[in-house]
Amino acid sequence: MSHQQQSFWTKYIFSTDHKTIGKQYLFFGLFFLLWGGLQAMVIRWQQIYIGVEVPLVGKLIWPDSGGILTPDIYNQLITMHGTIMLFWAITPLLTGAFGNFVVPLQIGARDMAFPVLNMLSFWVFFLSGGVLLGSHFLKTGPSASGWTAYPPLSTPVGGIPGWGQTMWILSLVLMGVAVILGAINFVTTVIRLRAPGMGFFKMPLTVWGFWLSSILNAVFVPIIAAGLIFLLLDNVLGTQFFIAGSKATVKGGDPLLYQHVFWLFGHPEVYILILPVWGIVSDLLATFSRKPAFGYKATVVSMCTVTALSGLVWGHHMYVTGMSPLLGKSFMFLTLLISIPTSIFFLNWIGTMWKGSLRFDVPMLFTMSIVFVFGLGGLTGLYLATVTSDMYLHDSMFLVGHFHYTLAASVFMASFAGIYFWFPKMFGRLMDPLLGKIHFWVSFLCLNYVFFNMIVVGYAGQHRRLFDPAVYDFIKPLMPLNKMISMFAFALGLVQLLFFFNFFRSLFRGKKADRNPWKAATLEWTLDHPIPHGNFQGEVVVKTGPHEYSHPDFKGRDWIAQTEELPKQ
């Protein structure tokens, strides 16, 4: 592979090299992270400056309303922000970028199992993003049904007339196809292409996270794809799979069927996104604590247990739909049960850092913050898992704060941890550590202020997705706090510009990195940059686990690469 002749197009555009595809996903995800983040800033503007023109972009994007948000535009923003952040920012950054770049290297493979399929997966994903972006330029605007697209809001009988909803569905179906292609590749690659000696319990926990996530993708994405195709038929051909009541002309339609289908995928989707994070956190904590990962096997078993249970808990999203109390109690039990394995590897993270020789490099700062935000998010989830408290908190800002802590904040910080950590291996240079630490501290403080106080106003009764919260007398006392949330959200958004400056400046002018700047033990750090197509020149033989740090019998340095022998006793 390393000696084949390649043109510019086959090397950089339609490449089958997993490393190039990983970089393509990285830039793709960063673009949508910026796009979705700008939408979040406009949403927070609307929360405190109702009826005031959105500065800089208002008249340019919404000239018909004079740059002032209308309820329909606000619903479109809410829908597209959630959709983009979940499916076109987080997914390509984690599974697309880090999964593609790191997994073959960490298991000693020369490439993914199906390189051409890998290339097709990216370009189908790219096409799906183009369709989604195109919906913004329709005269009637993009989808406004919320990121969950519940019927009847997402059907012709309850939604805004136009093609926005149809394009939203089509883009998600295309994205699902890309994800399924990628999942097949990841699952096969990890099973079939591990280097000699790379047993399952010698794999880095990052690989475990991506592998288990891909299994969930392969199982549950086809389910939501089927539901979305039915919804597409309702919108385009006039079928009535999800239309009922007085609006239905035939019997048999059921909008709650869509909710079951959506959340049967939607809750495993939470673990699809967070499993790679758990793996990255476990590995990076070991690297920067200079200790073996505490409870490695217990962490693996816990991650596998969560993967198995993830398809049995979807009903806790539907307590308020009139679900049978007996069924509700069953889902409550299973949801609370799944918190046990998550608690185990959370405690393992603490055990890894305990009495470690901690190095507070930028990737470590972001990694440690994940332990905090995920812990807080998990605790707030217990209230939503319990039927009685969820009846009050459901669809409130409490839920928004919980969701952002558990998923958005964890994945957001993990994405940055991964970028700062693998940037030297991807591009051969180091990002500026001072700018990185400024980026971290401002992000961490602002993020916690924003999401924690979302929980506060939600507990006080503020519903989510309100166009003008101040019209309710009981919410008026919360408006000063809402204003402060927005101010800190604006600061959070602005500091990301510092990250983008650091990222692109470092691509060209960053300090050249050594082969192994973090003194990490996994296989990718045994290769010099640039890594050729085909990765390893000879056969890789794995002899140790991924976390051999501070071995008492190994003199001269505090780490042992996976290709090295442990000292003989």
Write out the chain's pLDDT in tens, 569 residues: 544 567 778 888 999 999 999 999 999 999 999 999 999 999 999 999 999 999 988 888 898 889 999 999 999 999 999 999 999 999 999 999 999 999 999 999 999 999 999 999 999 999 999 999 999 999 889 999 999 999 999 998 887 778 999 999 999 999 999 999 999 999 999 999 999 999 999 999 999 999 999 999 999 999 999 999 999 999 999 999 999 988 888 888 999 999 999 999 999 999 999 999 999 999 999 999 999 999 999 999 999 999 999 999 999 999 999 888 889 999 999 999 999 999 998 999 999 999 999 999 999 999 999 999 999 999 999 999 999 999 999 999 999 999 999 988 999 999 999 999 999 999 999 999 999 999 999 999 999 999 999 999 999 999 999 999 999 999 999 999 999 999 999 999 999 999 999 999 999 999 999 999 999 999 999 999 999 988 988 889 999 999 999 988 888 789 999 999 887 76
The reply to whether 533 falls in a domain is: no
Residue 172 resides in a domain: yes
Tell whether 567 is covered by a domain.
Answer: no
Structural domain boundaries enclosing 377: 16-526
List, in sequence order, the alpha helices (H) in 193-315. 205-236, 255-289, 296-309
Q: Give pLDDT, residue 325.
A: 87
CATH number at residue 308: 1.20.210.10
Distance (Å, whole) CA 446 – CA 452: 10
Q: Could you give the residue ranges of the DSSP H alpha helices within 428-566?
A: 433-459, 479-509
Q: Taking a C-beta distance cutoff of 8 angstroms, is the pair 379, 440 a contact? A: no
Peptide bond just before 530 cis, omega within 30 deg: yes
Q: Which residues pair with 511 in a beta bridge?
A: 430
Task: Measure the N-to-C terminal CA separation of the chain; round to a whole number of Å.
Answer: 40
Residue 559 main-chain phi, psi, to 5 deg: -145, 150
Q: Round to whole Å and give the CA distance between 333 and 20.
A: 44
- Look at residue 68 and tell me if it is in a domain: yes
Cα–Cα dist 424/513, whole Å: 6
Please state the length of the chain: 569
Owner of token pair 């997402």: 154
The partner residues of 269 in beta bridges, in order of sequence, read none
386 part of a folded domain: yes
Beta bridge partners of 396: 463
Q: Quick one: 447 exposed, middle or buried, by C-beta within 10 A (0-12, 13-18, 19+)?
A: buried
From CA 488, how far away is CA 500, in angstroms rounded?
19
Q: Which residue has the tokens 């919804």?
A: 231
Residue 340 has a pLDDT of 95
What angle do the packed helices 362-385 and 433-459 form, to 10 degrees? 10
* 8 Å CB contact between 327 and 315: yes
Does any domain span residue 516? yes
Across the strands, what pairs with 430?
A: 511
Residues 6+ apart with CB under 8 A from 176: 221, 222, 224, 225, 228
CA nearest to 178, candidates 277, 92, 266: 92
The token pair that represents 14 in the structure block: 């339609």
Could you tell me if 132 and 88 are in contact, meaning their C-beta atoms sit under 8 angstroms apart?
yes
d(CA 486, CA 489): 5
- How high is the pLDDT of residue 4? 58
Rounded CA separation 299/282 (Å) = 9
- 387, part of any domain: yes
How would you class 193 by CB atoms within 10 Å of its CB: exposed for 0-12, middle for 13-18, buried for 19 or more? middle
pTM of the model: 0.95
Tally of structural domains, the chain: 1
As a three-state string, the secondary structure of 170-190 is HHHHHHHHHHHHHHHHHHHHH
Distances (CA, A) of 231 to 54, 157, 225, 317: 33, 12, 10, 20
pLDDT of residue 569: 61
Structure confidence at residue 283 (pLDDT): 97
